[in-house]
Amino acid sequence: MFDILFRNAKVIDGTGNPWFYGDVGVEGGTVAAVLPPGSTARARRVADVDGKALCPGFVDGHSHSELPLLAGEGMDCKIMQGVTTENLGLDGMSLAPIKDGDKADWKKHLSGLAGTLDVPWTWNSFAEYLDCLQAAKPPLNVSSYVGLGTVRLSVMGMADRPAEDHEIRAMRDLVARCMDEGARGISAGLIYPPSRYQSLEETVAVAKAAAAHGGIYDVHMRNEADAIAESVEEVIAISERSGIPAMITHFKIRGKKNWGRSAALIRRIDEARAAGIDVTMAQYPYTAGSTFLHVVIPPWYHSRGTDGLLKALAEEREQVKKDMLTTEGWENFSQVMGWENIYVSSVASEKNLWCEGKSAVALGEALGKSPEDAVLDLLIEENLAVGLLGHGMYEEDVMEGMKHPTMCLITDGLLSGGKPHPRTYAAFPRFIARYVREKRLLTLEEAVRKMTSSTALKLRMKRKGFIMPGMDADMVVFGENRIRDVNTFENPRVYPEGIDYVLVNGEIAVDHGVHTGARPGKTIRD
């Protein structure tokens, strides 16, 4: 007898193969059987889903949920959109390994992404960090990369200089240890300090340590705007020289003058793949991005550490503003997108909650200041804990990436603040509603593959991503013509529609569209 039996399901199994009707039995947290419709199987609970789609739980390969998970939050924003597994430690910024002396500064540095939740950082090693995640009883499955920025911080601090040979050896050893302790691979944020201080040679040398353990290199490229072609070449070179599979995370093209370049860049990726270089991509289904607001400040100020950065904003204001007009050697958000397209998504203090949802231009007008001064003053007041939401992409470019066979869907979800990017709550349903049903860009089977098995396989998850006997019973049941995003940038904290059931490791996390509060998630290490 099964624990749960879903009858009369339209099974989309995650392989990309055509759907079929069937009954799916769950027992002991795994998929026990996939049976022909109308089977006589018995179960403690039977749900007749009447032809609704049943597919593997969605795998979010790029998330920033570290602190909310450690704080024991319910992660309803992910569960309610069908995400059953998420991967952390992106953009070079994992929470481990970390030395005690670096914790306060690193926490402040990440606050615009991760928020300012008062979670005790009791861990140092990567294994201890995963132990803490499991102890928090996660509601969904969790894995993590080790961030090369975090590794560099542990060895070199925030130093903006080439790594010496002994430092490269130390970083290689640290990466190898983290891989042994369960890291899925390495991540880099080549736009963010201290990852951006890595040279090609340093990255290749360290990546070889992850490659030897079967890991992947997940990279936020050095430039997603004017120098994007050069940045793609850098990723290809890292993969070719180190032998590591590389995934360009949130593949996108920023800035109106760069719109329309996606086809040429994808052709270059295809050329690399034809030459045997394993380069792939991940995307979210929106034309706006989100990160921390202090990315608008030139990287040479960040090398001073967070306290030094804040001091520069206060005491070297005019020079900082002058440098913010330059584009040499860095991706300048304010110049590429314009202050009118840069919005505050989150703050830490109650005093400045009124800033959330306002553009830098609107903020300046309200305060009687220039956008630059308004932004810099806010960063000082909030101790850097400010999130950015920026509109700067072209949907035709987004669609070119969505069609690529290697593309994996992600949320890149940031959970801090009152106005987070709507992707945090609805990226996966939006992908189906807009790009399968409305635009007919993909078949539903191909879309599901990009949301499930494609990511699971790249992350070496042995029991995720497929509806097959023996796989973990992570499942989503949804109305094929009902599933959709209903939130907006103005009102982002709204659950999607059309999802009836979500199972995590065989436990029902969403029942008839209602979040149950179940916490059956596991930390993935093997």
At residue 416 the predicted structure's pLDDT band, cuts being 50, 70 and 90, is confident
H or E stretch covering 240: helix 228-242
Instruction: Kindly report the CATH number assigned to the domain that includes residue 181.
Output: 3.20.20.140
pLDDT over 90 at 407, yes or no: yes
DSSP three-state, residue 249: coil
As a whole number of angstroms, the distance between CA 210 and CA 122 comes to 26
Q: Tell me: pLDDT of 334 over 90.
A: yes
Q: What is the mean pLDDT of residues 13-32?
A: 98
In a domain, 526, yes or no: no
Range list of H helices, 431-510 = 444-451, 453-458
Same structural domain, 503 and 370: no
Mean pLDDT of 318-332: 91
Structure pTM? 0.96
Which stretches does DSSP call E strand in 284-320?
288-292
Are 404 and 413 within 8 A, CB to CB?
no
Residue 150 and residue 283 in one domain: yes
52 plus 64 within the same structural domain: no
Angstrom distance (rounded) from CA 36 to CA 52:
15
Domain boundary among 354, 371, 389: 389
For residue 415, name the pLDDT band (cuts at 50, 70, 90). Answer: confident
How does strand 342-346 pair with strand 475-478?
Answer: unpaired
Provide the CA 314 distance to its chain's centre, in angstroms: 32
31 in the same domain as 141? no
Q: What is the pLDDT of residue 231?
A: 97
pLDDT given for residue 412 in this prediction: 96
Q: What angle do CA 150, 328, 284 make, to 5 degrees?
A: 55
Segment (H or E) for 168: helix 165-180
Residue 12 placed within a domain: yes
Q: Quick one: average pLDDT of 337-362?
A: 95
Say if 148 falls within a structural domain. yes
Helix 305-315 crosses helix 371-381 at what angle (to 10 degrees)? Answer: 140
Res. 281: pLDDT tops 90: yes
Host H or E run for residue 141: strand 141-144
Strand 387-391 and strand 507-511: pairing?
Answer: unpaired
| Mean pLDDT of the region 183-192 | 96
Q: What is the 3-state secondary structure (H, E, C) of 77-106?
A: HHHCCCEEEEEECCCCCCCCCCCHHHHHHH
Q: Does residue 315 share a domain with residue 211?
A: no
- Residue 246 shares a structural domain with residue 372: no
In the block, residue with structure tokens 């990723």: 235
The stretch 507-519 carries a mean pLDDT of: 98
The strand pairing partners of 141, in sequence order, are 85
Per-position b or e across 321-333, b if 16+ CB within 10 A of its CB: eebbeeeeebbbb
Q: What does the pLDDT average to over 284-288?
A: 97
User: Is there a single domain that holds both residue 215 and residue 226?
Assistant: yes
Q: What is the pLDDT of residue 110?
A: 82
Calculate helix-pair angle for 262-274, 228-242, nearest 10 degrees: 10
In a domain, 525, yes or no: no
Distance CA 6, CA 22 (A): 9
The reply to whether 52 and 146 lie within a common domain is no
The total number of structural domains in the chain stands at 3
Low-confidence winner among 31-35, 208-212, 344-348, 365-369 (lowest mean pLDDT)? 344-348
CA 52 to CA 49: how far, in whole Å? 6
Q: Do 206 and 316 lie in a common domain?
A: no
Same domain for 204 and 117? yes
Burial profile 140-154: b = 16 or more Cβ within 10 angstroms, e = fewer: bbbbbbbbbbbbbbb
Average pLDDT value for residue range 250-279: 97
Residues in the chain: 526
- Domain interval for residue 502: 2-56+468-486+493-515
| Structure confidence by residue, pLDDT tens digits, 232-255 | 999 999 999 999 999 999 999 999
> Is residue 476 located within the same domain as residue 402?
no
pLDDT at 92 over 90: yes
Percent helix, strand and coil across the chain, each rounded to 5?
A: 40, 20, 40
CA distance 127 to 469: 30
Please tell me the distance from the alpha carbon of residue 106 to that of residue 119, in angstroms, as a whole number: 13
Of the listed ranges 299-303, 422-426, 435-439, 498-502, the least confidently predicted one is 299-303
CATH of the domain at 503: 2.30.40.10
| Domain contains 232 | yes
For residue 114, pLDDT beyond 80: no
Asked if residues 430 and 418 have their Cβ atoms less than 8 Å apart, the reply is no
Q: How far apart are CA 145 and CA 92, in angstroms?
A: 9
463 lies in some domain:
no
- List strand residue ranges (DSSP E) for 244-386, in order: 246-248, 279-283, 288-292, 342-346
Domain boundary among 331, 366, 389: 389
Band of residue 119 on the pLDDT scale cut at 50, 70, 90: confident
Rounded to whole angstroms, the Cα distance separating 70 from 119 reads 7
Contact between residue 325 and residue 335 where contact means Cβ atoms under 8 Å apart: yes
Distance CA(148)–CA(242), nearest Å, equals 15
Per the domain annotation, does 523 fall within a domain? no
Residue type, 35: L
| Within-domain flag for 70 | yes
Of 353, 368, 389, which closes a domain? 389
Instruction: Locate 345 and state its tokens.
Output: 């998504």
For residue 113, name the pLDDT band (cuts at 50, 70, 90): confident
**Percentage above 90 pLDDT, the chain:** 93
Q: What is the mean pLDDT of the chain?
A: 96
- Residue 11 has phi, psi (to 5 degrees) of -80, 125
Secondary structure class of 502 (helix, strand, coil): strand
Verify that 309 and 248 share a domain, yes or no: no
